[in-house]
Amino acid sequence: MRITKSLVRQNRLGEISKGVYRDNSFNNKGLLLRLSVRGKLTYVVHGSIAKKDQKAQYYTVGNASEVSLEDARRIAVKFKGYMADGKKPSLEHKKDTKKFTLQLFFDEYLSARGVKSTSNRNGLQQDTINKYLKHFNRLTDKFKTRDALKITRGDIKKSTTELQ
């Protein structure tokens, strides 16, 4: 059976039954759509890692509500490549995902908002940008390049006491 967007959409309406659906499209052998008892759809890849004497395993690609079918197919091809190279897909995928740093967020925010002008009414005033830059530059380089999603309240307290 070929997994389609309509099959994924049917689950949201409760029309498909619990089980595993295999995608038989040409270049996605091994991509499965798993439907749990509670109705959660998950994309998984089934296969074994080359160069290791292991049984075939399931590796989670992502939740169907968060990952599109096209992205799941693309990731499945990547996972199959990792397995062919003798690498564990879940670990390699984590390495490939870009680290979300404060520096990246700050640069992205400033470029998205831009400077206020007649053509960009939602932009930031230049003095506001300068103020943001002043405060951001007070942070240590180590703090700017850390993974922003792993920064805790304790880390912030610790860094502010170091600045004083």
Cβ burial, residue 101 (10 Å; 0-12/13-18/19+): middle
For residue 13, the model assigns a pLDDT of: 43
**pLDDT score at 100:** 82
Question: 15 falls in which pLDDT band (50, 70, 90)?
Answer: low
Residue 81: what residue type?
A: G
Q: Where are the beta strands (DSSP E) in 48-124?
A: 57-63
- Bridge-based pairing of strands 31-35 and 41-47 is antiparallel
150 DSSP assignment: G
The residues, any chain, with a CB within 8 Å of residue 37's CB and separated by 6 or more, are: 18
CATH number of 5-96: 3.30.160.390
What is the Cα–Cα distance from 86 to 76, expressed in whole angstroms? 15
Percent of the chain with pLDDT over 90: 7
Average pLDDT over residues 20-44: 77
Check residue 29 and report its DSSP letter.
T
C-alpha distances in Å from residue 62, one per residue of 43, 53, 72, 143: 5, 26, 7, 30
pLDDT band at 49 (very low <50, low <70, confident <90, very high): confident
The residue type found at 33 is L
Give yes or no for residue 164 having a pLDDT over 70.
no
For residue 2, the model assigns a pLDDT of 63
pLDDT at residue number 40: 83
Domain limits, the chain: 5-96, 102-163
Give Cβ neighbours of residue 112 (< 8 Å, ≥ 6 apart).
none
Q: What is the pLDDT of residue 41?
A: 85
Categorize the per-residue pLDDT at 129 as very low, low, confident or very high, splitting at 50, 70 and 90.
very high
- Tell which wins on pLDDT, 132 or 26: 132
Does the pTM surpass 0.75? The reply is: no
pLDDT at 132: 92
Q: What is the pLDDT of residue 146?
A: 85
Residues found in the chain: 164
Residue 114 has pLDDT above 80, yes or no: yes
pLDDT of residue 27: 58
Give the pair of three-digit tokens for residue 151: 């920064």
pLDDT of 123 reads 87
